[in-house]
């Protein structure tokens, strides 16, 4: 992959904002290879993501950060400048369902996901076989023996030990405690096997079957203390019919889960997602 810098901005919408950013980049011989803008007219916020080739730049990333800081201060920006060559460190958490875990590992192995995976954590020991195949350190957390408080304390410690940037709940069927949700705010992604906000909580496919819906789906979202209510990153849907049983929905829905989670994770890794209150702006 070509090395780029990603400039991501969230600030009040103002006249001259884009011109100032563009002028700064032009002054330093920056070649913009991808540009995305969005204005939220309801809140008056402006969002921007520029991907910049490093080949022609006259300054290194730290010099650019230093030079851009006065512009960011002038326009009250929340901003970051990220080097694409620095791979984020992603931890995968799993339970007994393996389809999302295996899909992410395959995409990572085939270099579709530009990250490192320093560890896999699971509350079912059989997940170790998938970690071993990819030569990734595996940690089994025995919730039944430890109890939830001690188990999550171990998970928190592992995330810190491995210096994790993104924690992905790949059908990890445990509810994270408030303290861990706050620790990982904006850095933990979950896949819920329902098209939220419909059918939150347990057994969403059975809920969908009982309601007689014609579409089922899956939702990739950030983890918050409010269960299944974090900002949504990506969703996938699939049409079903009256002849589909609840078990059919589970089988068919797995494809939605894998696709929604993989896309959401990739968008986050590529700095394409900006969280704005309870929603996200996604420059896919």
Catalytic residues: 228
The gap between the terminal CA atoms of the chain, to the nearest Å, is 18
Helix axes 61-74, 17-27, angle to 10 degrees: 160
CA-CA distance, 51 to 4, in Å (whole number)? 6
CA distance 178 to 188: 13
- The CA distances from residue 253 to 14, 237, 248, in Å, are 43, 8, 8
In 71-115, the DSSP E strands lie at 78-83, 89-94
Separation in Å, CA 135 to CA 35, 128, 131: 37, 10, 6
For 238, list phi and psi in degrees, rounded to 5: -145, 135
CB 230 within 8 A of CB 190: yes
Tell whether omega for the bond before 197 is within 30 degrees of 0, i.e. cis.
yes
Q: Which residues make Cβ contacts (< 8 Å) with residue 119, sequence separation at least 6? A: 91, 92, 136, 137, 138, 139, 158, 162, 164
Instruction: Tell me how crowded residue 129 is: count the other CB atoms within 10 A of its CB.
Output: 10
């Amino acid at each position: 992959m070509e090395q780029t810098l990603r400039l991501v901005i969230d600030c009040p919408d103002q006249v001259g904002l884009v011109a100032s950013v563009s002028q700064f980049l032009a002054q330093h011989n920056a070649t913009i290879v991808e540009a995305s803008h969005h204005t939220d007219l309801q809140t008056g916020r402006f969002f921007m993501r520029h991907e910049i080739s490093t080949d022609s730049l006259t300054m290194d990333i730290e010099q650019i950060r230093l030079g851009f800081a006065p512009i960011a201060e002038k326009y009250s920006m929340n901003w970051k400048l990220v080097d694409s060559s620095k791979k984020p460190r992603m931890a995968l958490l799993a339970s007994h369902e393996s389809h999302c875990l295996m899909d992410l590992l395959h995409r990572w192995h085939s270099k579709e996901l530009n990250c490192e995976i320093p560890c896999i954590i699971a509350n079912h020991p059989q997940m170790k076989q998938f970690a071993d195949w990819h030569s990734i350190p595996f940690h089994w957390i025995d919730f039944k023996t430890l109890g939830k408080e001690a188990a999550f304390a171990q998970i928190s410690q592992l995330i810190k030990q491995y210096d994790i940037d993104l924690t992905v709940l790949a059908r990890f069927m445990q509810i994270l405690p408030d303290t861990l949700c706050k620790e990982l705010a904006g850095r933990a992604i979950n896949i819920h096997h329902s098209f939220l906000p419909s059918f939150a909580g347990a057994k969403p496919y059975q809920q969908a079957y009982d309601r007689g819906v014609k579409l089922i789906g899956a939702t990739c979202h950030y983890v918050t203390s409010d269960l299944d209510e974090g900002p949504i990153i990506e969703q996938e849907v699939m049409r079903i019919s009256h002849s589909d049983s609840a078990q059919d929905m589970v089988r068919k829905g797995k494809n939605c889960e894998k696709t929604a989670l993989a896309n959401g994770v990739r968008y986050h890794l590529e700095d394409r997602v900006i969280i704005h209150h309870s929603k996200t702006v996604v420059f896919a």
